């Protein structure tokens, strides 16, 4: 798709089209760096805010991945799914939650941030248990979970470990995914996460925010970063924004 003549597109849309054309033609391949806001602004003779808007929208649409201080990169995109695939994948996800082994890398009590508190249904600043869990599949780390658990709803087999802070990794089982809150695809792993997942290049990761329930209560709010598994979990089940009466995206 080449740059076709104007057709009265506003500047920000023209920049979007330009970037999409470069990506689709393969000139800018996956994970390669995209010109910065200032570079695009200069190239198109617009202000930085206009170039910025184009890049932000393309990020939301899944074309790009952005990171403060690093830059903007071409995201890894997946094809549209048929209803049949949706059904099969939903089935698999619903059934295979216990298949992985997992290592808990870190565990500590923290004060819940605004977002975490909202998901857990506790006041902001209240104590929550934070653990970092790396999921292992056939010896390969495929998924990293940044898990927050409300103290009241902590399952028994984990609660004992929360009483002491343990820097050592140990194995635990993984709860099945019961529902998906929402999915954010525009994520670059932090250096820490990249190390855990053995990522070298700036590879676009998948970020899933999910909630699990225990005895009818919200038990945990987790963010998954999940670059290398067979199914890219969240991308397939990205469906619901919002929740019953609480919970949002910020």
Partner DNA sequence: TGACGCTACTTGACTATACAAGTACAGTCA
Partner DNA sequence: TGACTGTACTTGTATAGTCAAGTAGCGTCA
Among 70, 108, 125, 190, binds its own copies (CB under 8 A): 125
Is 18 a binder of its own copies (CB under 8 A)? no
Among 18, 48, 77, 103, binds its own copies (CB under 8 A): 77
Among 123, 139, 167, 216, binds its own copies (CB under 8 A): 123
Measured distance CA(212)–CA(203) in Å, rounded = 28
3-class DSSP assignment, residue 151: helix
The item of its own copies, DNA, none sharing an interface with residue 235, based on CB under 5 to 8 Å by kind, is its own copies
Which residues of the shown chain bind DNA in the complex (CB under 7 A)?
Answer: 10-13, 34, 36-39, 45-50, 52-53, 55-56, 66-72, 190-191
Q: Which stretch binds its own copies (CB under 8 A): 66-74, 76-84, 131-139, 194-202?
A: 76-84
The item of DNA, its own copies, none sharing an interface with residue 72, based on CB under 5 to 8 Å by kind, is DNA
Neighbours of 190 (CB within 10 A): 12
How far is CA 21 from each of CA 18, 30, 142, rounded to the nearest angstrom? 5, 13, 32
Q: Which is nearer to DNA, 40 or 117 (CB)?
A: 40
Half-sphere exposure of 116 (CA within 13 A, CB side): 20
Yes or no: say if 2 and 20 are a contact pair by the CB < 8 Å rule. no
Q: Which is nearer to its own copies, 105 or 182 (CB)?
A: 182
Q: Which is nearer to its own copies, 145 or 185 (CB)?
A: 185
Neighbours of 242 (CB within 10 A): 11
Q: Which stretch binds its own copies (CB under 8 A): 37-45, 132-140, 172-180, 196-204?
A: 172-180
Q: Which stretch binds its own copies (CB under 8 A): 137-145, 151-159, 197-205, 233-241?
A: 233-241
Please name every residue paired with 103 in a beta bridge, in sequence order, or none if there are none.
134, 171
Measured distance CA(15)–CA(19) in Å, rounded = 6
Neighbours of 8 (CB within 10 A): 6
Q: Which stretch binds its own copies (CB under 8 A): 31-39, 78-86, 144-152, 191-199?
A: 78-86
Is 82 a binder of its own copies (CB under 8 A)? yes
User: Cβ 23 to DNA, closest distance in Å?
Assistant: 15
Residue 51 burial class via C-beta count within 10 angstroms: exposed 0-12, middle 13-18, buried 19 and up? buried
The item of DNA, its own copies, none sharing an interface with residue 107, based on CB under 5 to 8 Å by kind, is none
Which residues from 26-65 bind its own copies, rule CB under 8 A? 57, 60-63
Q: In what order do the strands lie in the sheet with 140-149?
A: 170-173, 101-111, 127-137, 140-149, 217-225, 205-214, 182-187
Among 42, 70, 81, 201, binds its own copies (CB under 8 A): 81
């Amino acid at each position: 798709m080449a740059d076709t003549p104007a057709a009265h597109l506003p500047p920000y849309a023209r920049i979007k089209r330009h970037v999409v054309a470069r990506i689709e033609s393969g000139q800018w391949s996956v994970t390669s760096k995209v010109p910065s806001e200032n570079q695009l602004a200069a190239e198109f003779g617009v202000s930085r805010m206009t170039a910025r808007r184009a890049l932000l929208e393309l990020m939301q649409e899944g074309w790009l991945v952005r990171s403060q201080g690093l830059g903007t990169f071409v995201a890894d995109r997946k094809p549209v799914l048929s209803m049949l695939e949706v059904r099969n994948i939903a089935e698999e996800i619903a059934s295979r939650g216990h298949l992985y082994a997992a290592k808990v890398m870190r565990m500590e009590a923290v004060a819940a941030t605004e977002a975490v508190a909202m998901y857990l249904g506790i006041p902001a600043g209240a104590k929550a248990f934070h653990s970092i869990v790396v999921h292992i599949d056939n010896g390969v780390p495929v998924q990293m979970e940044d898990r927050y658990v409300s103290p009241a709803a902590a399952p028994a087999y984990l609660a004992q470990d929360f009483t002491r802070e343990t820097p050592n990794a140990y194995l635990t089982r993984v709860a099945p995914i019961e529902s998906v809150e929402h999915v954010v695809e525009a994520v670059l792993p932090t250096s820490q996460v990249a190390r855990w997942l053995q990522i070298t290049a700036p590879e676009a990761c998948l970020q899933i925010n999910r909630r699990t329930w225990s005895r009818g209560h919200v038990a945990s709010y987790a963010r998954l970063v999940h670059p290398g598994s067979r199914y890219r979990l969240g991308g397939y089940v990205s469906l619901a924004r919002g929740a019953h009466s609480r919970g949002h995206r910020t």
